[in-house]
Amino acid sequence: MYGWNGRLLRVDLTAGTVREEEISPWVLKGYVGARGLGIHYLLAEVDPACDPLGPENRLVFATGPLTGTRAPTGARYVVTTKSPLTGVLTCSNSGGFFPASLKKAGVDAVVFQGRAAEPVYLWVDDGRAELRPAEGLWGRTTHGTTDALVGAHGPGTRVACIGPAGENGVRFASIMNDRDRAAGRSGVGAVMGSKNLKAVAVRGTGKVAIHDPDRFGELVKGYLDRFNDTYRDEPPPLRSHGTAVTVMGTQNTGIFPTRNFQAGQFEQWEALHGETLTERFLVKARACFSCPIACGRVTRVDEPGYEGEGEGPEYETVYSLGSDCGVGDLAAVTKANYLCNELGLDTITMGATLACAMELAERGLLPEADVGRRLRFGDARGLVEFTRLTAFREGFGDLLAEGSLRLATRYGHPELAMVARGQEFAGYDPRGEQGMGLAYATSPIGASHMRGDPAYIEILGVPTLIDPHEWRGKGELVAEWQDTFALIDAAGLCVFFTIRNLVSPDRHIRPTGILELLNAATGAGYTLEELERAGERIFNAERLFLVRAGSGGEHDTLPPRMLEEPMPDGPAKGMVVHLREMLDEYYRARGWDARGVPGPDKLRELGLG
């Protein structure tokens, strides 16, 4: 088969065995890959009521048909499991080089099940795969683990692993690959840790078979030529300044979350801006496999107390550990980011949970004794100190390790956790960006900017600008974007290139470029309708898991701050999220019932009956 390997590794950690299975070509076409394969196997094999950190939960690593190909940004994989943070589904994805190697090793997906008696890692050597003891690795940082495995298996080995946070069951522990790329969200690293699985190391030297290499090459060349034409005079802003270049846009529209979303503009925004990062700490830009953008930041900090080297921070990190915590010290933010990477923590939830703790503390709701010291917004030292404590669940870190909703609930104020479905918001205050409010509320993994990011169309004007304050029409728009993002994730592509270059330039984003590339790569002969249907299928399958896990429409909501407290100042002053109105429109657009449940007709239409 082309594009896909059609091969799944089933790793039974309890039994210590690795078996190969064929993935039905029909499942591959219908679910495309990566995120689609993840939900396909989760829905088929995981009890929605299971304990996310128990052996009955499963963890799926999956690549897409374009992963490991020369398709621009064909670099990504998706981790799907039941989340210990949200208690329902999650999928978290990452780029780098590990995913392409996994694909080149002849594997489309790995299903981990059970729990190993002793720490192990999976070694995939171009198709042969086995579990090995991870004795010398347990307790080590992600960098230490990666370096040890590359040392053991030789150059060209690619590693995804957890750090101490995953070992210690931090509910927002990440899985790090290639040292600093993160499948960050919802605690996928904690699930990996609960299984005593420290790492996956891969050597993949094969070539992904392409159905029509001439056509595929021609398409890739066309896209890259156009990309290079666009940036002939000046490199893309994402390469020059990384994703933190977004700070200017969100600050200017008054949706840059500040002090746990108490405000939408941060007075020290310039200190966190991508251009500042470039000036102060950038060593070089770094690209993932087959990516022409290179938004990754290799940075070095020499400031006393914050010394370090690594990658980051991203925009989401300068929001969460920066403005949201009221911290304008980019050195501190960057150092905390390094720690998150090394210890295996999601920077978004780490920062947002700290921000929540800061607000609780400032309001006198969180006793200083519990924290161990005074905690206030703007506490730059605290970022570093508490990140470390969280990963090891030491002291107050043990409470932070539970995430903001459990923390705020413990102190009687769940409404102060800026979450949807138990997961912390990304760096966009939805009061000034209505579509994002709806996207947070309906994202299958809890609040996320990566499950149909309306910021493109509401803030960046890509492919066209739609008023961010308008709520009418956003139901349909968000549904459409969510399905397209599902497709991008499933194909193994990165949103950054794809959303600007591989969809038709219209308010209705149609995955025309993805269609061309997929058909040339796989020979699956998708029609545009079939492909769009596949995106919708994936999103609805995820919804099905949510509903079965008891998280249907009643959980499509936002904290009262978003719904009832008008934005206090800035361009979005006076606004709240018109969630109810948007939800009604959204459910209609999706063909779901008034309780947010896909009906039998919709499920049949999608082959999910």
463 vs 523 by CB, closer to its own copies = 523
The sign of the CA dihedral 511, 516, 522, 525 is positive
| Distance from C-alpha of 157 to C-alpha of 145, rounded to nearest angstrom | 12
Q: How many CA atoms lie within 13 A of 386 on its CB side?
A: 34
Interaction mask 139-178, its own copies, x per CB under 8 A: ----------------------------------------
Main-chain phi, psi angles of 557, to 5 degrees: -145, 175
Shortest CB 609 distance to its own copies, Å: 8
Interface with its own copies by CB under 8 A: which range of 147-155, 279-287, 388-396, 516-524?
A: 516-524
Shortest CB 53 distance to its own copies, Å: 32
Window 275-334: residues binding its own copies (CB under 8 A): none
Size of the site for its own copies (CB under 8 A): 20
The reply on whether position 24 binds its own copies by CB under 8 A is yes
Window 484-513: residues binding its own copies (CB under 8 A): none
Contact residue for its own copies among 527, 568, 574, 580 (CB under 8 A): 527
The residues pairing with 10 across neighbouring beta strands, listed in sequence order, are 19, 111
Tell me how far the alpha carbon of residue 154 is from its chain's centroid: 29
| Distance from C-alpha of 561 to C-alpha of 227, rounded to nearest angstrom | 41
Contact residue for its own copies among 8, 18, 30, 178 (CB under 8 A): 30
The reply on whether position 518 binds its own copies by CB under 8 A is no
22 vs 135 by CB, closer to its own copies = 22
| Distance from C-alpha of 340 to C-alpha of 357, rounded to nearest angstrom | 18
Interface with its own copies by CB under 8 A: which range of 59-67, 317-325, 427-435, 518-526?
A: 518-526
Contact residue for its own copies among 1, 150, 152, 462 (CB under 8 A): 1
Interface with its own copies by CB under 8 A: which range of 102-110, 119-127, 519-527, 543-551?
A: 519-527
Contact residue for its own copies among 395, 463, 523, 591 (CB under 8 A): 523
Sheet holding 120-125, edge to edge: 128-133, 120-125, 197-203, 158-161, 175-177, 181-183
Window 548-607: residues binding its own copies (CB under 8 A): 604-605, 607
The reply on whether position 29 binds its own copies by CB under 8 A is yes
For 43, counting Cβ atoms within 10 Å of its Cβ (0-12 exposed, 13-18 middle, 19+ buried), the class is middle
Tokens of 205: 């030297």
Contact residue for its own copies among 8, 9, 27, 170 (CB under 8 A): 27
Place of tokens 């040292």: 179
| Distance from C-alpha of 412 to C-alpha of 403, rounded to nearest angstrom | 15
Cβ atoms within 10 Å of 367's Cβ, excluding its own: 10
Euclidean distance between the first and the last CA atom of the chain, given in angstroms as a whole number? 27
126 vs 605 by CB, closer to its own copies = 605
| Distance from C-alpha of 554 to C-alpha of 23, rounded to nearest angstrom | 35
Please choose, from the candidates 311, 382, 252, the residue with its C-alpha nearest in 3D space to the C-alpha of residue 96: 311
Interface with its own copies by CB under 8 A: which range of 26-34, 336-344, 470-478, 562-570?
A: 26-34
Interaction mask 204-223, its own copies, x per CB under 8 A: -------x------------
Q: How many CA atoms lie within 13 A of 436 on its CB side?
A: 30
Query: In one letter, which amino acid is 303?
Result: E
| Distance from C-alpha of 446 to C-alpha of 124, rounded to nearest angstrom | 32
Cβ atoms within 10 Å of 139's Cβ, excluding its own: 14
Window 229-248: residues binding its own copies (CB under 8 A): none
14 vs 527 by CB, closer to its own copies = 527
Shortest CB 462 distance to its own copies, Å: 28
40 vs 578 by CB, closer to its own copies = 40
Interface with its own copies by CB under 8 A: which range of 17-25, 164-172, 200-208, 411-419?
A: 17-25
Contact residue for its own copies among 15, 17, 25, 117 (CB under 8 A): 25
262 vs 522 by CB, closer to its own copies = 522
Place of tokens 């390790």: 401
Query: In one letter, which amino acid is 608?
Result: L
| Distance from C-alpha of 304 to C-alpha of 124, rounded to nearest angstrom | 41
Window 366-425: residues binding its own copies (CB under 8 A): none
CB 112 within 8 A of CB 195: yes
- At 43 the three-state DSSP class reads helix
The reply on whether position 26 binds its own copies by CB under 8 A is yes
Beta-sheet pairing, 120-125 with 197-203: parallel
Shortest CB 527 distance to its own copies, Å: 5
Shortest CB 39 distance to its own copies, Å: 15
Interface with its own copies by CB under 8 A: which range of 23-31, 286-294, 420-428, 576-584?
A: 23-31
10 vs 381 by CB, closer to its own copies = 10
CB 408 within 8 A of CB 433: no
List residues binding its own copies (CB under 8 A).
1-2, 22, 24-27, 29-30, 211, 522-525, 527, 529-530, 604-605, 607
